[in-house]
A and B are shown apart, each in its own frame.
Chain A
Amino acid sequence: MNTYSLPPNAIFKEWAYSNLESPESGIEIYKPRAEFGLTRPRETFIIKRNREFTLSKTDAADRPVRFEGNWRFKEPNKLIVSIKTPKKESLKFQFQLAGNALKIKRILTN
């Protein structure tokens, strides 16, 4: 039987963009989607235990676009997601759970 390393349980939920930690840090703070209630569009993603990953955004006229992919965990704190967005980003980020927030720093690859 294969064994995989897994991220912390608390990461498995729907996260919504909250704010930038600071302009210089490049760190984006996400919070559980449910915390926002009614809001203007926010980038959200769902990380599932079964390695599915769903990224949801809105386009330049507020229309939703959704991308499906799969994630892979690299210890201690990297998540590598195998979907390609229109901007040719491979989603790859370092994360840190801080209370009820998820801090992520994207690693851009082309």
Chain B
Amino acid sequence: MASKDSDAPSSREVKEMRRKVREGPKCGTPVPNKWMRQVTKKARDAQDKTLLKNNRIVSATIKVKFIHITDGTDGKITQDMRQKQIKELNDSFGSHNIKFSYNEEQVVEKKNANWFNMGYGSAAERQAKRKLHADPKKYLNFYTANLEDDLLGWATFPWELGGHPDMDGVVILYSTLPGGGAAPYDEGATGTHEIGHWLGLYHTFQDGCPPSEGDEVADTQPHRAPDYDCDSNTACGSGSSPVENFMNYTEDACMTKFTKGQAVRAKEMITIYRNQLFRSK
């Protein structure tokens, strides 16, 4: 459920925003290119013009659909791991009034050795998602599998939902769920990080130092490169890089926070692209 500010925008304004979302890119957009930048800038501009200001979701509970792909032996996720992952998400986003829930009875476990070892953009990913996904307008599809290319996870951005609804969601290396054994990345922060992307957040090191547009969030410290441990510092100029931020690349134990600005951006993205999450019954 979501609660909203009063004074909602006119139906014409909402219809126009939805049209723009629906007619989003039809092909892959691998980097925050000019189009992405324009779209997200439009969100901020729209806020200034009161569309978002009046309709912004101030709190939200997102329903997670866990879809676990296994090879019959590896990849199995226990109820305890799911509950701890949801707790990790709520600990991470909850202080910003973005919360997560799931229904144990709706969990999907699918044995398919080919899909289990999926790579990004592969036939295995497409087939698995087309077969197993829940309605992306109503659910966050949270896939777990064993990923090619040594990846811990990947995500889709909210502005891609219109063009590729079946591909929407996050894909996570199964052993990164809490207790999964992929130390030092097995405390659930990978899920949190990828959901950050799913809510429209960029990496804190996106595009490096100013004058680049960075991550388009004003209260994150820009830095020139990813940090991989808690002691790293790649800050632009003086100060420290945000090793504690979930949208950096540090180990799970370092990651503890989102900034207020990141939460505002995530809620803007929900308002514009994912508002139907809260209209389902």
Contacts and interface: CB of A to CB of B under 8 A. Distances in A.
Nearest to B202: A60
B120 A63 contact: yes
Name A's interface SS.
Answer: loop
B225 interface: yes
A61 B193 CA distance: 9
Contacts of B232: 19
A95 to B, nearest CB: 18
Nearest to B182: A38
Given A19-B232, A40-B185, A40-B228, A64 B31 contact: no
Interface footprint category on B: 35 or more
A35 interface: no
B56 interface: no
A6 B223 CA distance: 36
B228 A86 contact: no
B155 A40 contact: no
Interface residues of A, number: 20
Given A20-B224, A20-B234, A61 B156 contact: yes
Sorted nearest first, the 8 A-B pairs with minimum C-beta distance are: A40-B249, A59-B30, A61-B197, A62-B154, A61-B155, A63-B154, A60-B32, A63-B120
24 contacts: A19-B225, A20-B225, A20-B234, A23-B235, A38-B150, A38-B182, A38-B185, A40-B185, A40-B249, A40-B250, A42-B228, A56-B149, A59-B31, A60-B36, A60-B157, A60-B203, A61-B155, A61-B194, A62-B154, A62-B155, A62-B197, A63-B120, A63-B154, A86-B30
Interface of B: 30-33, 36, 119-121, 149-157, 182, 185, 193-194, 197, 202-203, 206, 224-226, 228, 232, 234-236, 249-250
